[in-house]
Amino acid sequence: MRALIVVDVQNDFCPGGALATDRGAEVAADITTYLRAAREAGTYGAVVGTKDWHIDPAGHFAPEGTAPDFEETWPVHCLADSDGAQSHPALDTSLIDAWFLKGEHTAAYSGFEGHPAGAPESSLADWLRDHDVDAVDVCGIATDFCVRATALDAVAEGFDVRVLTDLCAPVTPGGGAVAFTQMSYVGVDLIDNHFH
């Protein structure tokens, strides 16, 4: 069975947010359009969403008074329960079957580092296997960080993996292109759904 993983489509990663991608809001709306059609077509047995959900992520936020390097350290973003951590309003959250939170007390890029809300002993990989999922499609924000990490971990966990390239928003176009090359190299199928 195939599942869709919607990665970090959150206010802080969309225009106006603390760590905005240029195409974040557009991608949020496109994912909703795609999901509605996919649900009608029965494309997925399950749809899961991931969220950055930071409480005190050691070393992930740039120390006060220092500039983030945008590789290891970042502006403060996606604080647990904050508006910035909520799903972007263009994403129809009623289409998501389960949510996985990541990064409460550590940097966490991959959705596979996440756990269901209120169940820290469980994991995304466990949940997918419990639901007889053996293949996943990945989309969301940001191509060059959390989408890439989620796709690479999905391969490492033994899933058949596709990334829906036009349903991803990169931090930078160059970073997004490099990420797609890295994903392809480890066997991820890159699929363009031709929305644009």
- How do residues 159-173 score in pLDDT, each as one tens digit? 999 999 999 999 999
Sign of CA dihedral 39, 42, 46, 47: negative
Tell me the one-letter amino acid at 36: R
Q: Which DSSP string do the residues of 87-125 spell out, in sequence order?
A: BPTTS-GGG-SEEEEE-SSS---SGGG-EETT-TT--HH
CA dist., res. 135 & res. 3, Å (int)? 6
From CA 46, how far away is CA 9, in angstroms rounded? 17
- pTM comes to 0.96
Which residue type, as a one-letter code, is found at position 8?
A: D
Given CATH 3.40.50.460, say whether it is the number of domain 2-191: no
User: End-to-end distance of the chain based on CA atoms, in angstroms?
Assistant: 28
Confidence of residue 58 (pLDDT cuts 50, 70, 90): confident
Mean pLDDT for 152-161 is 98
Which are the catalytic amino acids? 8, 102, 146
Query: Per-residue confidence at 188, pLDDT binned at 50, 70, 90?
Result: very high
- The domain spans of the chain are 2-191
How confident is the model over 99-116, as pLDDT tens digits? Answer: 999 999 999 999 999 999
Distance (Å, whole) CA 37 – CA 175: 29
